[in-house]
Amino acid sequence: MGKTLHKLINLLLFTALLFFGSARQVLSQEGVAVSDAQVTHVFGEEIHFSAQIITSNPIKEALLIFREVDEENSRVISLNADEEGYISYTYDASENLLHPFAEITYWFQIELANGESFTSPKYFFTYTDNRYEWETREEDNLRVHWYEGDETFGLSALDTARSGLTDIGLLFPVDTSQPIDIYIYASPNELQNALFMGGETWVAGHADPALGTVFVAIPPGEQEVILMQEYIPHEMAHVLLYRYVGENYNLLPIWLLEGIASMAELYPNPDYELALERATENETLIPIAELCLTFPSEQSDAFLAYAESTSFTRYLYANYGYSGMDELINAYADGLSCEAGTVSAFGETLKYLDANWQETVLGANLSGVAFRAILPYLLILTLLIIVPLLLGVFGGMRNTSES
């Protein structure tokens, strides 16, 4: 019995030595812990970071590192810890802008006086626009957020998003595995203030495709359903097209990006037709090739650019269908130039397609349309009559020279 008890005590002592020895080894390897990491923010004004560094060694330097999740460049801030290891920092969000509702990742890197360094785990928070009290309704990865309007308003927006998703699927393959967040501001001014867009008072929608986020300005009222059907599917199309082609989304011409998004609208803008008619009559249409990289900054010209992009993209879809548009999207995503993309997908130059669209859809240069219509018959006539005639003439000249 005594020997058994003695063995048991030795086993317990051995186990304790192993445990405490292991604990001392972990402490020497780590040496540092970060406790009570917290973030608070006032949207558009400031973000406050705080934490406590627990260590038995003096702290030489503490670094706060943070960035938006999909951002390449991190912000690195050097901090001083007080005697108890507390650190804090207030970031000026009014001058150093961050995207609204972006997910922010942050962490701490600690350098001790003895030369050892420690990197904390990564922490996350969402930079919400907390100036407003948001309501949320969601269904099948579609999430609608609003702060003005009743329950019917939110459900109507959700219905519009669902219908828009169906129609977008008729234009290109869609991926609904990740959420799409739709934030509805009550006025264009409030939207632009959130996005720091200053001055573009005519802009009522914006999408951040990489974040899967849509922003629209829709005031509750008589026009709310029409505005929902116009703005929500348009911006959703940008998000879903980004998911389809990935980071090469920005290689697509602007006219195609906006043309596809406008085609997704459940309520097409009726003023586009009027703008196109006036520009056709006044011969002020913008060549599609000039809309590859950017749109005009002046409001009326930008509106015409949207109208042209919508009509031109519809023309391509009507003539080449779903598969043709898919080939065009992927040709541009593969890096082909604005001109080479249409040649690869359709075998026609962008200049030719532009002219044909103006003639057949807008009714510009009707003589050109007539010429294109009879061109195949002229070629046949040339082959049947003119070529034999020329051969006869040259044959006669040769016989004369031989005689």
Quick one: pLDDT at residue 158? 98
Highest mean pLDDT among 11-20, 193-202, 351-360: 351-360
The answer on 223 and 158 residing in a single domain is yes
> In terms of domains, do 359 and 266 share one?
yes
Residues 153 and 219 in one domain: yes
Which residues span the domain enclosing 262? Answer: 252-364
Rounded alpha-carbon distances, angstroms, from residue 182 to 68, 138, 201, 208, 403: 19, 10, 20, 11, 88
For 265-280, the pLDDT digits (tens) are 999 899 999 999 999 9
Question: 93-107, 193-207, 212-226: which has the minimum mean pLDDT?
Answer: 193-207
* pLDDT band with cut points at 50, 70 and 90 for residue 12: very low
Q: Can you tell me the distance from the alpha carbon of 174 to that of 287, in angstroms, rounded to the nearest whole number?
A: 30
The CATH number covering residue 164 comes to: 3.40.30.160
Q: Which two tokens stand for residue 125?
A: 């928070």
- Checking 393-401 for CB contacts under 8 A at 24+ apart, the result is none
User: Is 57 contained in some domain?
Assistant: yes
Q: What is the pLDDT of residues 280-330, one digit of tens each?
A: 999 999 999 999 999 998 999 999 999 999 999 999 999 999 999 999 999
Average pLDDT, integer, range 229-235: 97
Confidence of residue 72 (pLDDT cuts 50, 70, 90): confident
Tell me, yes or no, whether 109 and 209 share the same domain. Answer: no
The pLDDT value recorded for residue 383 is: 63
Reading the block at residue 232, the tokens are 């929500």
Output the domain CATH number for residue 110: 2.60.40.10
pLDDT at 30 (0 to 100): 54
> Model pTM?
0.79
Q: Which pLDDT does position 100 carry in this prediction? A: 92
Question: Would you say residue 274 lies in a domain?
Answer: yes
Q: What is the per-residue DSSP string for 125-165?
A: EE---TTS--EEEEETTEEEEESSS-HHHHHHHHHHHHHHH
Which of the four pLDDT bands, split at 50, 70 and 90, describes residue 5?
very low
Classify residue 9: in a domain, yes or no.
no
| 279/234 same-domain check | no
- The answer to whether residue 18 is domain-embedded is no
Residue 110 has pLDDT above 80, yes or no: yes
The tokens describing 92, both together, are: 């000026």
Q: What's the pLDDT score for residue 147? A: 98
Poorest-pLDDT segment among 156-170, 199-213, 317-331, 333-347: 199-213
101 pLDDT above the threshold of 80:
yes
Helix or strand holding residue 75 (H, E): strand 75-79
Q: How many helices (H) and strands (E) does the chain have?
A: 11, 13
Q: Quick one: pLDDT at residue 22? A: 32
pLDDT value at position 364? 84
Answer whether residue 9 shows pLDDT above 60. no
Cross-strand partners of 310:
none
Q: What is the pLDDT of residue 25?
A: 29
Last residue of a domain, one of 207, 228, 247: 247
What is the per-residue pLDDT for 297? 87
How high is the pLDDT of residue 266? 96
Greater confidence (398 vs 233) lies with 233
Cα angle 331, 327, 207 (rounded to 5 degrees) comes to 75
Residue 385 has pLDDT above 90, yes or no: no
Q: What is the pLDDT of residues 125-176, one digit of tens each?
A: 999 999 999 999 999 999 999 999 999 999 999 999 999 999 999 999 999 9
Residue 310, φ and ψ in degrees, nearest 5: -65, -50
Domain end (from 126, 149, 164) = 126
Place of tokens 């116009």: 230
Domain count, the chain: 3
Q: Tokens for 221?
A: 């009222």
Mean of pLDDT values over 111-130: 94
Q: Which of 198, 215, 247 is the last residue of a domain?
A: 247
Residue 172 falls inside a structural domain: yes
In this structure, of 202-211, 247-256, 257-266, the range with the lowest mean pLDDT score is: 202-211
More confident residue, 192 or 392: 192
Q: What one-character DSSP code corresponds to residue 91?
A: E
